[in-house]
Structure 1
Amino acid sequence: MKHELFYKNPKTLLNKGTGFLAGYTHSLNPYTGCSFACSYCYVRQMPVSLFREGEWGKWVDVKKGAARILKKELQRAKEKGKVTIFMSSSTDPYQPIEHKEKVTRSLLEVMAEDQPDFLLVQTRSPLVRRDIDLLQALKEKVRVSMTIETDSETIRRKFTPDAPPIAARLKTLELLRGAKIPTQAAIAPVLPSSEAFPETLKSVVNRVCIDDYFMGDGSGGKRTKRLGIQAIYETLALEEWYGPIAYKKVYDRLARVFPEDQLYVSQRGFEP
């Protein structure tokens, strides 16, 4: 897919944590837009997408001077008290353009030097392994949350054809664990998976967060419904996997492999 790039000069970077992210003092988005273009992404139904020309996933704004801005904002925020940051809430900080632009890496460099109380890095990209050196510098103040919605490449391609392969994400978690960086697998949203999925995850993480459209899209599933995602399930004859109780099937499978203190549901699993 071809993407249109725009270079912007933002005035601010840190946003107040609200709603689903109320447990954080701030959210941080290195980019606006996301070229992974996941079919179910709730951001498609938010103003940043709805009031923008061009289909979501086909454009990305690169935030110029981001490190300089963050350095100033982080210092001011820390003067006021505890600082916890969720990166990122409406984009993937390691989408393909990060290979070239390195905006996310520049932000991590700032935070490694002037550390927040906690940073959660939410991504689905193996590119995060590039920054192991900076993540190690943050020690217990960071957690990398890797989205792994399913163990099926067939399913992954149906819902997120432009996202990285599942095997590469699992390998990345293995590498992060070897580097002693706190991690979790985020089954978010729950997609159809096999009974072997929990065992696969157990080999690479000791913490799993499970979420779905109804708990995690910020509107009780209404945003997702407007996207027409249910039609994909119907086409695949997997309707039983779509609904507010479908996640329990995966949770019960996980509970047979992971102890209770390693399993989290929705918002609680993403909190600092």
Structure 2
Amino acid sequence: MKDIVSKTILTSAKGQLDDYTHSLNPYAGCAFGCKYCYVRQLPVSLYREEEWGTWVDIKTNAAQILKKDLIKARKKGPVYIFMSSSTDPYQPLEAKTQLTRSLLETMLEETPDFLFVQTRSPLVKRDIDLFKKFGGKIRISMTIETDKEEIRKAFSPSAPPIQARMAALREITEAGIPTQATIAPLLPCSREFPKKLKNLASRVVLDDFWMGDGSGGRRTERMGVYEIYQQMGMEKWFNPTAYKVVLKMLQEELGEIGISKEGFKPDIK
């Protein structure tokens, strides 16, 4: 971990996130270090000597510069923010730094037109009090890529347990805050997965490596993810059509399901 000073905190959103105007990353690097994370193949990771998941840079002045960035961005039109695109805003050290919480407090002073919060950490429920103040201008998205703990441990051993994520998401939903259960990327799961997701969130979105890694699956191939499937004897799950089987199960149980990029679009009133 090290502290860094940033000149700006809002970044123009592009590619898979171009339905948003900006992305907001309180940290560079991520302690969860998921083996399938596409950020492993981005310059922020490739040009570091340390292995992805072993380092985190803390943008200590983020809250101070966010208000200025927001005022500047608002002059150009509506502001739709995705937090975060290349780190988890609620990774373990957030419990101590409270950097993400300070950003939320700043955004309540200069409120964006929509804020999407993406995490896989139960720590997110700490900020329910602030989320409520955004009204319909916010959505909290929890990554739940499988319902099997043995699968979670194979692909993201440092990430929080699935049950803890589900419990946190349910608590946020019951608090009246717009939520999303995000199956991204889809990993091998059980037939009971759709039932476990019922009433857990306001909506469910499904994505996979081929639709969602920003390169048609090429980044995922370079990271050796297929080898993990082989080691577990689950090669049949690693193909571009596997999601269709799970999608059908989800639709039968839950109704409408968001798919990849379309499912992440901001709620624009």
Q: Aligning the two structures, in what range does the TM-score lie when normalised by the shorter sequence?
A: over 0.9
- Name 2:183's counterpart in structure 1: 187
What RMSD in Å do the two structures reach over aligned CA positions? 0.7
Structure 1 runs not aligned, ≥5 long: none
> Does 2:63 align with 1:67?
yes
Deviation at 1:64, TM superposition (A): 1.1
1:50 pairs, out of 26, 46, 50, with: 46
- Is contact 2:178-2:202 (8 Å) kept? no
- Name 1:221's counterpart in structure 2: 217
1:170 pairs, out of 162, 166, 170, with: 166
Distance in 1 separating the partners of 2:90 and 2:41: 22
> Does 2:136 align with 1:140?
yes
2:100 pairs, out of 99, 104, 124, with: 104
- Name 1:271's counterpart in structure 2: 265
Distance in 1 separating the partners of 2:109 and 2:243: 40
> Does 2:227 align with 1:231?
yes
Distance in 2 separating the partners of 1:12 and 1:172: 31
> Does 2:195 align with 1:206?
no
Letter in 1 for 2:71: Q
Structure 2 runs not aligned, ≥5 long: none
Deviation at 1:204, TM superposition (A): 1.1
Indicate the percent of aligned positions where both proteins have the same amino acid: 58
Deviation at 1:87, TM superposition (A): 0.2
Distance in 1 separating the partners of 2:246 and 2:200: 17
Distance in 2 separating the partners of 1:93 and 1:243: 30
Question: For 1:143, what is the secondary structure of its paired residue?
Answer: strand
1:115 pairs, out of 102, 106, 111, with: 111
Letter in 1 for 2:258: Y
Distance in 2 separating the partners of 1:67 and 1:21: 23
Where do 4+ consecutive residues of structure 1 move more than 4 Å? none
Q: TM-score, normalised by structure 2?
A: 0.98
- Is contact 2:13-2:21 (8 Å) kept? yes
Q: Deviations over 1:163-218 (max 9, x none)?
A: 00001111011110111010010000000001110010013123111000101000
Distance in 2 separating the partners of 1:203 and 1:24: 27
Distance in 2 separating the partners of 1:245 and 1:6: 42
Distance in 1 separating the partners of 2:99 and 2:125: 15
- Is contact 1:112-1:137 (8 Å) kept? yes
- Name 1:14's counterpart in structure 2: 10
Letter in 2 for 1:169: R
Q: TM-score, normalised by structure 1?
A: 0.97
Distance in 2 separating the partners of 1:141 and 1:152: 32
> Does 2:148 align with 1:152?
yes
